[in-house]
Amino acid sequence: MSEIQKTLSIIKPDAVERNLSEEIKSIFKKNGFEIIDEKKIKITKEEAEKFYLVHQSKPFYNELCSYLSSGPIIVMVLSKENAIIANRQLMGSTNPNDAEEGTIREKYGLSIDKNSVHGSDSIENAKKEIEFFFSN
Ligand code: UDP
Ligand code: MG
């Protein structure tokens, strides 16, 4: 089944810092995604902890939240047919060393933590994550 979906994408601090935002946005557009909302923000560690609450019990939680709040990020709502899975495919594996040729993380990711982009992993999480950043 295919349907037009929305998903949340984040260009993480490592990529914003290296001025890769425009290049990454153009990759999304080239791959048929429409950027229907976007903003550049810097979040607090407390906000990062809330956003990544599903990872609360993981050993990397604290560092992950420090990292996501360490510098400006670009949060975007992307839209496309089957956007959630399509974005996950375009991003590549969490660890850039395992990411498939041509994926964003393979191209730009520095390490398993500084992997340049975030993308929602399910319809339910996409909805929650879009609301988290774009509910005003
Ligand atoms: N992460 C990390 N160490 C790990 C696994 C994940 O630092 O061993 C970070 C990484 O930045 C990743 C984020 O935690 O993007 C969320 O992890 P998840 O497993 O949800 O990966 P993703 O959905 O981002 O591919
Ligand atoms: Mg995830």
Q: Which residue lies with its CA nearest to atom 25 of ligand 1?
A: 94
Amino acid identity of 96? Answer: P
For the chain, domain boundaries:
4-134
Tokens of 64: 């992950």
Amino acid identity of 92? Answer: G
9 C-beta closer than 6 A to ligand 1: no
99: Cβ contacts below 8 Å, ≥ 6 apart = 91, 92, 93, 105, 106, 109
pLDDT of residue 78: 99
pLDDT of residue 122: 98
98 C-beta closer than 6 A to ligand 1: no
- Digitized pLDDT (tens) for each residue of the chain, 136 residues in all: 789 999 999 999 999 999 999 999 999 999 999 999 999 999 999 999 999 999 999 999 999 999 999 999 999 999 999 999 999 999 999 999 999 999 999 999 999 999 999 999 999 999 999 999 999 7
Alpha-carbon span 114 to 107, nearest angstrom: 12
Q: Which fold has domain 4-134?
A: Alpha-Beta Plaits (3.30.70)
60 C-beta closer than 6 A to ligand 1: yes
